[in-house]
Amino acid sequence: MLGNLKPLEIVLILLVVVLLFGAKKLPDMARSLGKSARILKSEAKAMKNDDSGTAESTAAPAPQEQAAPRTIQAAPGDTTSARPVSEPADRTPRA
């Protein structure tokens, strides 16, 4: 669908978007979209690391250590908006 658009049509669409949302709100919208993308990327990476960590831990059980609580951050190094993540309880039966 987007492959059939000509440059003039794209410019007209962008002009309509600017008129609808206003030039002042567009940078804020782009910033919040970027933050959302970073959060999604970090969560996907954390899930991938958790999956690889559980495969290793099932092969050789390690002693339980008290780890620091994990936090979600909007951007790398951003500690002002970090919030704690509640870990799901381990409900696997111990043999």
Q: What local confidence, expressed as pLDDT, does residue 2 receive? A: 59
Question: What was the pLDDT predicted at 86?
Answer: 64
Tell me the CA distances in angstroms from 6 to 1, 17, 20, 60, one per residue in order.
11, 17, 21, 59
71: helix, coil or strand? Answer: strand
pLDDT at 51: 78
Domain residue extents for the chain: 22-53
pTM for this one? 0.39
Low-confidence ranges of the chain (pLDDT < 50): none
Locus of tokens 């099932």 = 58
Specify the pLDDT at position 18: 85
